[in-house]
């Protein structure tokens, strides 16, 4: 309407907007900024905690790695110095020769007897007679006898098949035992190839060649590689748990190498005595050494030892120092603690140890 003016007044509650609208807006912005700063501080705190946790985990991983490295070194040293402690299962050729073959299985009628008994003891009930079921039931029992007879036959044929397999294995082992005990060198070679008693020694860095010059003897040639087998650095843990790596002194390295070579010689003899009726084992250990005449590396013998079974059987291997044990046998060993191994001439056949009666 003309001349009519409407005044609209907007008022904010005092409790919501103290100091007016501009003061309220500024307070809102300050609140937002404060919340952002709190969020930033929380984020930074979480990042510091995460970094601290990661640093602790890295330290634990480092300590665990150091412990694993030290344990691996100790295990390697133990493996090198105790190679002669372990031995595979032996073979009792006399027992194999004297063990008789299993008797042929006898045919049994267990299932048929049960079916016949069921047929014999069947007595029809009153209801079966009244409803004419007796004839069918008796026919079923007679059919069950035929099936049971066939079941017994199948069981017998299965037992025969298993027996033939066992008989073939017995014939092979009995024949092998008789040939071994008769001193057949071809049987020695076959048994050695089948049993492969020195296979684990390959894990020690050994390359082996075995021959049988006569029924009482084995000749073993072992090639060893010190640089690839014996560590040149020791690994241990400090008081704080960190890994300490130090070079092994040359004299200590040479002693480890000597124990490793002599231990391998004892292990080879021990394995062969277990699987064959030998009286002596001659071991020649060879390594790459500098040939002063040519200036080149050449494989040369560093240990030659003849080991007799009678002396060997009296040894307590868990307590034996492999290098000291060489004194018990005819041997040549080129070794000096400060120098290490040097070349020697292998034992000649007339220098081999005598065979014990």
Residue 51 lies in a domain: no
At 59 the pLDDT is: 62
Domain count, the chain: 2
Residue 201 lies in a domain: yes
> What 3-state DSSP class applies to 260?
helix
At 23 the pLDDT is: 56
Question: CA-CA distance, 80 to 61, in Å (whole number)?
Answer: 28
Are residues 203 and 287 both part of a single domain? yes
Residue 344 phi/psi, 5-degree rounding, is -135, 170
At 12 the pLDDT is: 45
Are residues 235 and 315 both part of a single domain? yes
Are residues 105 and 84 both part of a single domain? no
Are residues 115 and 175 both part of a single domain? yes
At 297 the pLDDT is: 85
At 16 the pLDDT is: 46
Are residues 107 and 80 both part of a single domain? no
Residues of the chain with pLDDT under 50: 1-19, 22, 357
Q: Find the domain containing 279 and state its range.
A: 60-88+197-351
Are residues 76 and 144 both part of a single domain? no
Are residues 170 and 117 both part of a single domain? yes
The pair of structure tokens assigned to 126 is: 């009153």
Q: What is the pTM of this model?
A: 0.70
At 190 the pLDDT is: 93
At 8 the pLDDT is: 42
Could you report how far apart the first and last alpha carbons of the chain are, in Å?
Answer: 146
Are residues 158 and 288 both part of a single domain? no
Are residues 154 and 295 both part of a single domain? no
């Amino acid at each position: 309407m003309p001349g009519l003016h409407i005044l609209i007044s907007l008022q904010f509650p005092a409790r919501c907007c103290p100091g007016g609208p501009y003061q309220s807006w500024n307070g809102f912005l300050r609140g937002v900024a404060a919340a952002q700063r709190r969020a930033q501080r929380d984020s930074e705190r979480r990042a510091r905690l995460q970094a601290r946790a990661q640093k602790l985990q890295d330290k634990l991983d480092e300590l665990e790695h150091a412990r694993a490295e030290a344990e691996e070194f100790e295990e390697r040293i133990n493996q090198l110095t105790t190679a002669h402690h372990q031995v595979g299962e032996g073979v009792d050729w006399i027992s194999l020769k004297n063990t008789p073959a299993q008797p042929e299985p006898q045919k049994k009628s267990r299932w048929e007897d049960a079916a016949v008994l069921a047929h014999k003891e069947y007595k029809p009930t009153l209801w079966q007679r009244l409803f004419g079921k007796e004839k069918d039931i008796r026919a079923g029992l007679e059919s069950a006898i035929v099936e049971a007879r066939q079941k017994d036959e199948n069981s017998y044929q299965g037992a025969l098949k298993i027996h033939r397999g066992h008989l073939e294995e017995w014939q092979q082992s009995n024949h092998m035992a008789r040939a071994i005990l008769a001193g057949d060198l071809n049987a020695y070679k076959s048994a050695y190839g089948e049993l492969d008693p020195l296979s684990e020694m390959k894990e020690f860095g050994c390359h082996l060649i075995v021959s049988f010059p006569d029924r009482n003897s084995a000749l073993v040639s072992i090639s060893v590689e010190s640089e690839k087998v014996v560590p040149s650095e020791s690994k241990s843990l400090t008081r704080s748990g960190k890994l300490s790596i130090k070079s092994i002194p040359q004299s200590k390295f040479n002693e480890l190498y000597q124990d490793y070579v002599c231990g391998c010689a004892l292990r080879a003899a021990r394995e062969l005595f277990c699987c064959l009726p030998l009286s002596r084992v001659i071991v020649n250990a060879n390594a790459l050494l500098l040939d002063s005449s040519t200036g080149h590396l050449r494989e040369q013998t560093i240990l030659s030892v003849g080991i007799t079974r009678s002396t060997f059987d009296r040894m307590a291997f868990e307590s034996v120092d492999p290098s000291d044990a060489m004194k018990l046998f005819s041997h040549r060993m080129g070794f000096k603690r400060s120098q290490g191994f040097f070349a020697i001439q292998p034992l000649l056949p007339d220098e081999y140890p005598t065979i014990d009666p």
